[in-house]
């Protein structure tokens, strides 16, 4: 079914329309955002102004038209801090329902935190707890503690960036007095919560929580800014991007000293958030100090994705279970494959053969479990570029992976995955190529090795008929022997695999020998004839 989720936030309204499956997976179809800054009105006057009400109505009408145009069969809407606290919040929600047919539920902080945490669980790997999560909105800050299975505890605090900016900040750039008042407001609210969490969950033990996660637009912008400073570019997605306290504090100092006009020119920062980001930076710096964590991992999923997951679970309470850490990455990869109309039988067979090669040749490549996992996912996605065009499909595959919004992968892992899939199809890596050129030298070396394994595995199913049942690897001297098991004619696969001999020798320094246990006659292909054929 198609679900439209509308988040009526303090700072901005968001629309997300998805194709949802009963297993809890969904494919985004429409994303739209409008920054209304309703929280500014509430901070100044305690109510939403007439102009704010008009803009809210106009925005919701557009969202309704977009949802209807996308074929949404279910529309869910939640209103948060500004509606909770404004004296006319409930009247505005009733008016919006009457004019648009969208009944927005004004949710309390605990409900908001629960929806957000379910989205973070499904978006970021949580391999052990306790996990300390923050969602920073315009009007409130949700603080959550849990693990990959459940939310244990949550609190909502009046520390949203729009609220703090309107109530505390008076100068541009922030004066020393602004910074002192801002920090005091944050400490007064956060310190008791930090003490409570430390007592309850040992979050303040040496090293801090096992994982600290931040969601919301401000944290995502801070992540993009750090990413640009670190690598000179902004990732397509910052989901699961992690940055250190040291990296962040350098940016924090710059933000405190810059004017709004100067901040607007900083790469990674959304223009309309330029006057709000100092409050968000001060909050994060203070939270790192009070809660004792030195790294923040970012989740791009938050309230609206949580609303979608909640709607799916309401319709399919048995099937839509929270994903474990091991399921997030695989589920995300397989969902991308389905969206691209993958040849699933071929993809899974290539992945199985690639892992057999990996497992039987560890003495050759010396790679670890993380590389094995990356090889499997690259194999599953290695030819999704056919969805765009057979011509240059390896480049299309790389693009689709980079822009596929894969969950559970850090940005550099997405780039590595895209590179393995690209060179597992055609070509040889060059530092001028993207995304290969942006990887670290160590990761580049690993990518090249994995790409060769993928190229061999894909050749072993060249006819897409899964005629090769399994493969063994034997290493002897300067040779690598591939022994194929098949009870069918595999001449095409032998020929295709022999063409990879020059690449194998270039990367691993081994000459390729092929053998088969099938009853079919095996053509005698030497390395020299394979090289000539490849040319």
Place of tokens 């929270």: 322
Place of tokens 């940016």: 251
**Confidence at 331, pLDDT banded by 50, 70, 90:** confident
The confidence score (pLDDT) of residue 530 equals 43
The pTM assigned to this predicted structure is 0.84
Handedness of CA 387, 14, 406, 118 (dihedral sign): negative
403-407, 453-457, 477-481: which has the highest mean pLDDT? 453-457
**Confidence at 522, pLDDT banded by 50, 70, 90:** very low
Q: What is the mean pLDDT of residues 436-452?
A: 90
Q: What is the mean pLDDT of residues 234-256?
A: 95
Would you say 364 and 508 are in contact if contact means Cβ atoms under 8 Å apart?
yes
- Phi first, then psi, for residue 184 (nearest 5°) are -60, -45
Residue 261 has pLDDT above 90, yes or no: yes
The confidence score (pLDDT) of residue 526 equals 44
Q: What is the pLDDT of residues 471-518, one digit of tens each?
A: 999 998 899 999 999 888 888 999 999 999 999 999 999 999 988 876
Residue 377 has pLDDT above 50, yes or no: yes
- Structural domains for the chain: 2-107 (3.30.420.40), 110-302 (3.30.420.150), 324-459 (1.10.3210.10), 465-535 (3.30.300)
CA distance 482 to 472: 6
Q: What is the mean pLDDT of residues 134-146?
A: 94
Q: What is the mean pLDDT of residues 9-29?
A: 87
Exposed (0-12), middle (13-18) or buried (19+): which is 121, by Cβ within 10 Å? buried
Would you say 81 and 160 are in contact if contact means Cβ atoms under 8 Å apart?
yes
Question: Chain-wide mean pLDDT for the chain?
Answer: 89
**Confidence at 528, pLDDT banded by 50, 70, 90:** very low
The confidence score (pLDDT) of residue 428 equals 87
Handedness of CA 313, 318, 320, 322 (dihedral sign): positive
The candidate with the shortest Cα–Cα distance to 157, out of 262, 290, 32, is: 290
Q: For residue 529, how many other CB atoms are within 10 A of its CB? A: 13
CA distance 488 to 334: 29
- 295-305 in b/e form (b: 16+ CB < 10 A) is bbbbbbbbbbb
> What is the C-alpha radius of gyration for the chain, rounded to an integer number of angstroms?
26
Peptide bond connecting 376 to the previous residue in cis, omega within 30 degrees of 0: no
CA distance 275 to 270: 10
CA distance 382 to 454: 8
Kindly list the distances between the CA atom of residue 89 and the CA atoms of 52, 81, 85, 186, in Å, as whole numbers in the listed order: 11, 10, 7, 25
The candidate with the shortest Cα–Cα distance to 297, out of 371, 227, 236, 197, is: 227
* Lowest-confidence segment of 27-36, 221-230, 316-325 by average pLDDT: 316-325
The confidence score (pLDDT) of residue 322 equals 52
| Of residues 306 and 208, more confidently modeled | 306
315-324, 388-397, 416-425: which has the highest mean pLDDT? 416-425
Tokens of 176: 């020393």
- Straight-line distance from the first to the last Cα atom of the chain, in angstroms, rounded to the nearest whole number: 50
The confidence score (pLDDT) of residue 324 equals 55
Q: What is the pLDDT of residues 180-214, one digit of tens each?
A: 999 999 999 999 999 888 877 766 555 568 899 99
């Amino acid at each position: 079914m198609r679900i439209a989720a509308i988040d009526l936030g303090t700072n901005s309204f968001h629309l997300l329309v998805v194709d949802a499956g009963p297993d809890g997976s969904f494919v985004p179809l429409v994303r739209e955002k409008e920054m209304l800054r309703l929280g500014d009105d509430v901070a100044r006057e305690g109510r939403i102004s007439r102009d704010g009400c008009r803009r809210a109505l106009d925005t919701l009408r557009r969202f309704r038209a977009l949802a209807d145009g996308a074929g949404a069969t279910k529309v869910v809407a939640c209103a948060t801090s500004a509606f909770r606290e404004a004296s006319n919040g409930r009247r505005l929600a009733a008016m919006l329902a009457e004019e648009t047919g969208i009944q927005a539920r004004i949710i309390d902080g605990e409900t908001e935190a629960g929806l957000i945490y379910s989205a973070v669980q499904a978006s970021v790997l949580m391999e052990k707890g306790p996990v300390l999560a923050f969602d920073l909105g315009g009007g409130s800050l949700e603080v959550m503690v849990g693990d990959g299975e459940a939310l244990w505890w949550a609190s909502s605090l009046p520390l949203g960036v729009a609220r703090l900016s309107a109530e505390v900040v008076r100068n541009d750039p922030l004066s020393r007095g602004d910074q002192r008042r801002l920090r005091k407001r944050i400490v007064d609210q956060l310190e008791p919560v930090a003490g409570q969490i430390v007592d309850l969950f040992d979050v303040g033990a040496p090293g801090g929580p096992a994982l600290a996660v931040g969601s919301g637009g401000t944290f995502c912008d801070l992540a993009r800014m750090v990413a640009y400073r670190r690598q000179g570019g902004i990732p397509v997605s910052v989901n699961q991007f992690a940055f250190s306290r040291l990296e962040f504090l350098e940016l924090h100092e710059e933000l405190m000293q810059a004017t709004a006009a100067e901040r607007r020119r900083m790469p990674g920062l959304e223009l309309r958030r330029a006057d709000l980001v100092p409050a968000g930076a001060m909050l994060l710096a203070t939270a790192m100090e009070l809660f004792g964590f030195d790294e923040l991992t970012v989740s791009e999923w938050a309230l609206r994705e949580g609303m979608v997951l909640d709607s799916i679970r309401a319709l399919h309470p048995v099937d839509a279970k929270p994903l474990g850490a091991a399921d997030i990455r695989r589920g995300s990869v397989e969902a991308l494959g389905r969206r691209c109309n993958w040849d699933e039988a071929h993809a899974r067979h290539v992945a199985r053969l690639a892992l057999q090669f990996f497992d039987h040749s560890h003495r050759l490549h010396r790679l670890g479990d993380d590389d094995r996992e990356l090889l499997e996912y690259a194999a599953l996605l290695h030819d999704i570029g056919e969805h765009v065009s057979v011509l240059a499909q390896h480049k299309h595959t790389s693009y689709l992976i980079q822009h596929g919004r894969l969950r559970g992968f850090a940005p550099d892992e997405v780039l590595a995955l895209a590179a393995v899939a690209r060179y597992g199809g055609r070509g040889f890596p060059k530092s001028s190529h993207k995304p290969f050129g942006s990887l670290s030298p160590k990761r580049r070396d690993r990518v090249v090795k994995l790409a060769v394994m993928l190229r061999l595995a894909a050749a072993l199913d060249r006819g897409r008929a899964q005629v090769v049942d399994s493969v063994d690897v034997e290493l002897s001297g300067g040779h690598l022997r591939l022994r194929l098991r098949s009870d069918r004619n595999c001449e095409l696969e032998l020929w295709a695999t022999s063409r990879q001999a020059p690449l194998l020798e270039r990367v691993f320094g081994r000459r390729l020998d092929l053998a088969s246990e099938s009853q079919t006659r095996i053509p005698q292909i030497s390395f020299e004839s394979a090289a000539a054929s490849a040319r």
